[in-house]
Chain A
């Protein structure tokens, strides 16, 4: 069965500092990995994805993520955080094994960027 772990419930960072949100995954086949962001009282917004190819993927709002197969990780990063990046971030994985087409989410990490 596929699973996603986000080990940190909350990440606090000062504005202008680098931001990292951690994610590790477990799948039976090839992983298709995604990051979403949820702002207060809003739906989920897609940030970026890894399907194949370059291990470093770039997405919306200056975010990027690095796929590391040996460590089964897909950490989200931003070089310089903004106060407006404060939100709830979800890592997700899609696996076409026995689980079919399902998208499985991690528990979420709340990011608080302080001025």
Chain B
């Protein structure tokens, strides 16, 4: 299984500021995924990040608010821009168990970044 680390593990931020979350994987993967888990809620996919191309965003999420970088096959960042208290959530990155464009397999998840916006 892939080992995924995220930085920071948690942060408390002021309204109007931005936070960049880093995700590092111990192996090369084609697709990386970013999810949001609001308090007491399920996981919602924000975007899919492929190396060398623009991220694909889900309905309700836009690049200006959640810019994503994918500079290589083991690393990605998610920025939460111009934050408001509604952005307080756990943000998780994820990769497929089997590398490739499409996978029938499970995804592995990082430990998450717990963000609180005051």
Which positions in A face B, CB cutoff 8 Å? Answer: 32, 34, 36, 41-46, 49, 51, 90, 94, 96, 101-108
Contacts and interface: CB of A to CB of B under 8 A. Distances in A.
B53 interface: no
Nearest to A101: B102
A105 B104 contact: no
A107 B43 CA distance: 8
B106 A49 contact: yes
Nearest to A35: B106
B75 interface: no
A101 B107 CA distance: 11
Nearest to A49: B106
B14 interface: no
Interface of B: 1, 31, 33, 41-45, 48, 58, 92, 94, 97, 101-112, 114
Contacts of A32: 104
Given A101-B31, A101-B48, A34 B102 contact: no
A102 B43 CA distance: 12
A101 B105 CA distance: 10
22 contacts: A32-B104, A34-B106, A44-B43, A44-B92, A44-B109, A46-B108, A49-B105, A51-B105, A90-B42, A96-B102, A101-B31, A102-B58, A103-B45, A103-B94, A103-B107, A104-B45, A105-B42, A105-B43, A106-B42, A107-B42, A108-B41, A108-B42
A101 B103 contact: yes
Nearest to B107: A103
